[in-house]
Structure 1
Amino acid sequence: LSIAMNESPTIKVADMEIEKKRYTRKSTQSALFPQIDVVGQYTRTIQKQTMYLDGGFGSSMGLDIDPTQFDAEEMKVVQVLQKVLGSPAPEPEEDAPAEGIQFGRSNMWTAGAVVNLPIIMPSLWKNIQLTSIDVEYAVEKARSSKIELANQVKKAFYGVLLAQDSYNVYKKTFDTESTVLNDIKNKFEQGLVAEYDLITASVRLQNIIPEMLQTKNAVQLAILQLKALMGIDLEVPLGIEGSLENYEDEMYAQLLDVDLSLTNNSDLRQIDLQVEQLKKVYEIRTSQYLPTLTANFNYQYMSQNNDFRFSDYRWDPYATAGITLAIPIFDGGRKHNDIKEAKLSVEQVRLQREDAERQIKLMLQNQINQIAKSIEQVNSLKTAKEQAQKGYDIAVKRYDTGMGTIVDVNQAALGLTNTGLQYNNAIYDYVTAKSELEKVIGVDQPIF
């Protein structure tokens, strides 16, 4: 189990998912801090704006202009300035074209910093709480993966023990039948038994060999499956110690120590966390009705020029600061419908939890019944196994003394083999049912 928890890709993926959710929570929490951006912008004016004036702003400043000092194009600009700063110009004729002046420069450069700070953001606060629940949900899913993996590893280990014990039963039967066959051969050579007895014993021995090969292959396959679940290379040699019979003495004490409540059931805990997540989603959508308040600060330098002689540029500062209050008024009913949807989602998951709890209780009762049944079978088959061994010994002695037949020996040997296999299967059913029971009630392994 320790190797599986450290090497299994499933567990590693689950742990990575926890880390992802923690990073997501930190990313969401970062929205509480000021957001500072350095901005730069270049704008090229393709067509400058034109301003038209139909009259001046008074004659208080006056203008004394010598027309001979200007060419035709410059004189047009002077005339416009005269209208703006000089004496009032005569009313333009109705059909005369309006005069205008273009202003601005071809190149505009802007560089500075922008700072935004949320002050009141109810939806952001609820979203941070939601990410915390997401982390808890990821942790519970990882715990569920570990419980599931532990269950699979234990069942695979028990499967190896079952295959090994079954092989040992057939091997013991093969060795015993080989001894009986040799004894019958000796008696046949001495003329003490019929050839029928020799043929029957030989056929009996040959029939055991395929069963031995099948169980031997089952052992190898079970070990490969166990390696795969443990997350180790299939070429690594792995030896399995122990026997299913070792678990017989621990049956009753282990069953009494198990807490049968569903408090730690991982499936139910995950559903509970899903309910909490949906409740937070409901609160987030409800908080969208609340106003938000943000602060902002902007500090920039600007330069406007008609050329690219950067050393001659003049940079002028520009700064603003303010707060923004946003009060939701109308959105076509979007928030209202979102809230109703979230409320229905909560109710859906609650109903799903009730159904899941019923199903889990049914599984729990089924495993308890299976354990009780296996215990009774083990007790019964243990006695039957001892009696079968005793019956086989009697049948062999009766055959040696001439009071029994080879058929009696074969039947006794078959009964001994079957009771041995059934005994191992009963213990296997118990340990696998107990493993499933621990999975249902959410028993954490000590290595967790």
Structure 2
Amino acid sequence: MKLKTALFAAALTLFCAGASSAGTLTLDDCLATAMKNNPDITAARESLNAERTTINQAAAPGRPQLSANSSYRRSGTGDDHEGSYSTGVSVNQSISDWGRRETRIKRARLSTEAAEADYEETVDLVVQRVYNAYYALNRAVRDVDIAQTRYDNYEKRLDWARSYYEVGTKAKIEVTKAESDLASSKLTLVRAQSNEELRRAELANAMGVPLMEISGVEDMLGYEDWSISLDDAVAGAMKDRPELVARRLRVESAAENVTLQMKGLSPSLSASAGYSFGNHSYFDHDQWNAGLTLSVPLTDGGLTKSMVEQARAQLRQAEAELVGLENSVTLEVRTAWEDLRQAKESLTSSQEAERAAKATLDLALGRYKAGVGDNLEISDAVDGYAVASANTVLALYDCKNARINLEKAMGGLSYGEQTAD
């Protein structure tokens, strides 16, 4: 199975912990930084490295086992005593254990492949979080622009109200209401700016560098049409979703464990050879030995039978968990697919509403500037345009997020060049 590792062009300028970015961060910059610094990926990678060692561990008993020993002993009574030496070397080789070793090796390989799928799933989760955080920051930046535009419109309206009041064409209440609306819009702007800073912190944390100062990011909220049928999305998830790949491998490993436990009373054949020398001095006597050993267990008090029953129960459990996971993944895909469909429809409606709100605002500003509009008309127009603009930004964000979530649910996030590890 191919492991996802990022090789971005921007990886040449990876960020160190606590470093600040001097320019605009691209999405690829963020992904490359996450691949290097996110602790979840580091932990998953080391877990995979540890799992890979189990293959050699399972194969080791089938390789020659060489040992050496040396000893000195002194014994006697009173003044009558003597010493003796013993030195030897021996080698043992398992010839056959009737398939137990091969089964253990196969299980270790299946477990390693499952760990590779687990690593891939961890990478997908981190990549999804980076995408979501990046888009959330894009949305927050646009929300600040909307709040700033709303504030500017109210500030312009206040200037007009004061000038009309000074010449006597508007009542004092026009100025008071304009000042109140401006103060309210200032609070909205401050909150939007605070939310933007929070989203910057969330993006830095998703990359695994929580203290990174992010000065700016590219605006990625532009709409790009993308669609896939629900059946194709579900089929893709069943084939490519890393959790399902890992769970199927563990079902296969559980089946191999049944085979292994059924060999509990199987015979084993091994060969051994050795050479030793020593006595009262190192080379007084020497001897060699060689032999074959066949071990045939006759009974183990029911241990093998119990182990087989346990292994079969674990296999049935693994199969049931696989079905449960397939059902959960199917629901996740359907939910993400429906979210994307709804987001697309919401975007169309919100864009139409924003265009109408902008036209209404232009008319209201023109009327108020000409001295024929009133407070209620312009307040409604300014707020209506701000709300419509925010809804459009939200719809764009939902489209981006829904697509990423659907791709994640299908098990195939795209994030730059990928290669086998």
TM-score by length of 1: 0.81
Is 1:216 paired with 2:230?
no
Please report how far the alpha carbon of residue 108 of structure 1 lies from its aligned counterpart in structure 2 after TM superposition: 3.0
The farther-off stretch of 206-215 and 183-192 is 183-192
Query: What one-letter code is carried by the residue in structure 2 that aligns with 1:116?
Result: N
Hey, what's the Cα distance between the residues in 1 that align with 2:370 and 2:108? 83
Q: How does 1:17-416 map to 2 (within 5 A)?
A: 17-45=47-75, 106-121=82-97, 122-232=99-209, 234-244=211-221, 246=222, 248=223, 250=224, 252-253=225-226, 255=228, 259-261=233-235, 262=237, 263-304=239-280, 314-416=283-385
Q: Deviations over 1:302-330 (max 9, x none)?
A: 213xxxxx6xx652102110011011210
CA contact (8 A) 1:117 1:296 kept: yes
Instruction: Work out the CA distance in 2 between the residues paired with 1:25 and 1:383.
Output: 61
Q: Which of 109-118 and 186-195 deviates more? A: 186-195
Contact 1:2 1:447 in 2 (8 A): no
Distance 1:46 1:331, change over 3 A: farther
Query: Would the alpha carbon gap of residues 339 and 370 (structure 1) be closer, same or farther in structure 2, given more than 3 Å must change?
Result: same
Q: For residues 287 and 407 of structure 1, what CA distance do their matches in structure 2 show? A: 86
1:438 Cα deviation after fit: 1.3
Aligned-residue offset at 1:254: 5.2
Do 2:244 and 2:325's aligned partners in 1 also have CA atoms closer than 8 Å? yes
CA contact (8 A) 1:120 1:292 kept: yes
Distance 2:248 2:76 in 1: 62
The root-mean-square deviation of aligned C-alpha atoms, in Å, is 2.2
1:233 positional shift? 5.4
CA contact (8 A) 2:160 2:369 kept: no
**Is contact 1:165–1:243 with CA below 8 Å preserved after alignment?**
no
Distance, in Å, in 2 between the alignment partners of 1:341 and 1:163 is 54
* Separation in 1, partners of 2:76, 2:103: 48
Query: Per the alignment, do residues 293 and 105 of structure 1 end up closer, same or farther by CA in structure 2, a change over 3 Å counting?
Result: farther
Q: Which amino acid aligns with 2:201?
A: L
Say which SS state the counterpart of residue 330 (structure 1) adopts: coil
SS of equivalent residue, structure 2 residue 169: coil
With 429-438 and 321-330 compared, the bigger mean Cα shift is at 429-438
CA change 1:440–1:419 in 2 (3 A) is same
- Specify whether residues 105 and 320 from structure 1 end up closer, same or farther in structure 2 by C-alpha distance, changes over 3 A only: farther
Identity among equivalent positions (%) equals 21
CA distance in 1, matches of 2:183, 2:66: 85
The Cα shift of 1:6 comes to 2.3
What is the aligned residue count? 382
Paired with 1:287 and 1:353, the residues of 2 have a C-alpha distance of: 26
Could you tell me how far 1:430 is from its partner in structure 2? 2.1
Q: Residue 343 and residue 19 in structure 1: after superposition, are their counterparts in 2 closer, same or farther (change >3 A)?
A: same
Counterpart contact for 1:36–1:115, Cα < 8 Å: yes
From 421, 429, 439, the equivalent of 2:390 is 421
2:3 alignment partner in structure 1: none
CA shift in 2, pair 1:355/1:256, >3 Å: closer
Task: State the distance in 1 between where 2:333 and 2:226 align.
Answer: 19
TM-score normalised by structure 2 residue count: 0.85
In the TM superposition, residue 106 of structure 1 has moved relative to its aligned partner by 4.6
Residues 347, 392 of structure 2: 8 Å contact kept: yes
Q: Mark the CA change 1:394 to 1:236 in structure 2 (over 3 Å): closer, same or farther.
A: closer
Secondary structure of 2:183's partner?
helix
Matched with 1:439 is: 408
Cα distance change of structure 1 residues 143 and 238 upon mapping to structure 2, 3 Å threshold: farther
- Alpha-carbon distance in 1 for matches of 2:103, 2:48: 20
The 1:133/1:392 distance shift into structure 2, 3 A limit, reads: same
Q: Which of these two proteins has the greater Rg computed from alpha carbons? A: 1
SS of aligned partner of 1:234: coil
3-state DSSP of counterpart to 1:253: coil
Could you tell me which runs of 5 or more consecutive residues in structure 2 were left unpaired when the two chains were aligned: 1-30
Whole-Å separation in 2 of the counterparts to 1:369 and 1:259: 11
Structure-2 separation of matches of 1:131 and 1:418: 58
Structure number with the bigger relative contact order (C-alpha 8 A, sep ≥ 6) is 2
Contact 1:374 1:430 in 2 (8 A): yes
